[in-house]
Chains A and B, each alone.
Chain A
């Protein structure tokens, strides 16, 4: 069965420091991959998505993610975090055969140290 793993439940980084959030998926073929962000009290907002082509994907708010097929990973990165980046981040997978259904990871909560 398809699955998404976010191994880090909670991460704290200092403002201005770089960030990497990890995501691994389990699926037989290359799925569609997403990162969503949920700010406190809000719904989820799409940061970026990968379907095919260039394995480095640029998103909104200065985020990027890199698809590595050999590692079944899709890690999210940002070179310099801002206090407003404090939120919960969800990696998600849409299996090719069931495009409308997205499987979400359990989320990583990001805190920013002033």
Chain B
């Protein structure tokens, strides 16, 4: 089974802190994704990566950056956390850029910024 793990299930940070969310997948997937999930808005794509050191902006990249130094690991960085970044963050991976390839999700990190 594909396994996508996220470093924390719950995280509480203060405004202005730099925050790192880590995601690791164990199935040699090419693509990795970061979403945020908010009630009534579904999932919104922040960034995705289709290869090591490659990244592409999603729909809401402002205030976020990402890093992919190794194929299995994709990090989401909040350079200076703000209260409006309080949300559930979901990481996903998919095997290849093939059309409509299934995305496999991690359990999520619920981030609260005070």
Contacts and interface: CB of A to CB of B under 8 A. Distances in A.
Interface of A: 4, 9, 32, 34, 36, 41-46, 49, 51, 90, 94, 96, 99-102, 104-107
B40 to A, nearest CB: 6
**Interface range for B:** 20 to 34
Interface stretch (B13-21, B43-51, B69-77, B79-87): B43-51
Of the listed residues A4, A9, A101, A102, the one surrounded by the most CB atoms of chain B closer than 10 A to its CB is: A102
Q: Is the interface of A mostly helix, strand, loop or mixed?
A: loop
A4 B98 CA distance: 21
B41 to A, nearest CB: 6
Interface in B24-45: 31, 35, 40-45
5 A-B pairs with the lowest CB-CB distances in the bound complex, closest first: A32-B100, A43-B105, A99-B99, A104-B43, A104-B42
25 contacts: A4-B42, A9-B40, A32-B99, A41-B107, A43-B108, A44-B43, A44-B103, A45-B105, A46-B102, A46-B104, A51-B99, A51-B100, A94-B99, A96-B99, A99-B98, A99-B100, A99-B101, A100-B48, A100-B50, A100-B101, A101-B45, A102-B45, A104-B43, A106-B42, A107-B42
